Amino acid sequence: MVLWNGFSFQGVQILHWTTRSRLPVIPIGLKDTHFIDFKTHFSSFIVSHYHEDPGKFSEALNRLTLSRSKVTEPQRSANGLRDFRAYYNLLNTIERRFFDESVHHGFRFSWSDAFTGEQHNQRSPAFEKGSLIFNYAALCSQIAAACVRLLQSPTNAQISGLGS
């Protein structure tokens, strides 16, 4: 068993707390992105590939666009984390139905590096997913760091925030 900064660890499991009541948590900034209107970009693909009227899918594509816009300016709460998970799940479905290496939809996923601000663009939904996962973890760090300022005994809340 090793003591480190007031915590007792055995492997990676926390066995018990000692005298320290707060975890040092550094909030990580979110990556920035630009608006994408999926309805505009996927409508022609729906006609050419599925031979369907894109108007039938208008509501679903608007919901996808809205879901993405929610994660570009997330709430700093459990609702914000829920929005990330919802968009990630929608993206998994969209990836299987709309993305093929031979088809280009005329847009790229664009994200700025959270530390340098440098802009990166890719067509791959895997790039979008990676950026989402980064922002999800960054939002967890922001929520956990906010617990230090808001609560008298924030350690459990911090752990919950980081484990969301």
Please provide the DSSP assignment of the chain as one string: -EEETTEEEETTEEEEE-S------PPPPPPEE----HHHHHHHHIIIII---GGGGHHHHHHHHHHHHHHHS--SSHHHHHHHHHHHHHHHHHHHHH--TT---S--EEEE-TTT--EEEES-HHHHHHHHHHHHHHHHHHHHHHHHHH-SS-HHHHHHHHT-
92-103 confidence digits (pLDDT tens): 988 887 776 666
Q: Where are the domains of the chain?
A: 25-162
Class at the top of the CATH hierarchy for domain 25-162: mainly alpha
3-56 pLDDT, tens digit per residue, is: 344 343 344 333 333 434 556 778 899 999 999 998 988 888 888 888 899 999
pLDDT at 23: 63
**What pLDDT sits at residue 2?**
38
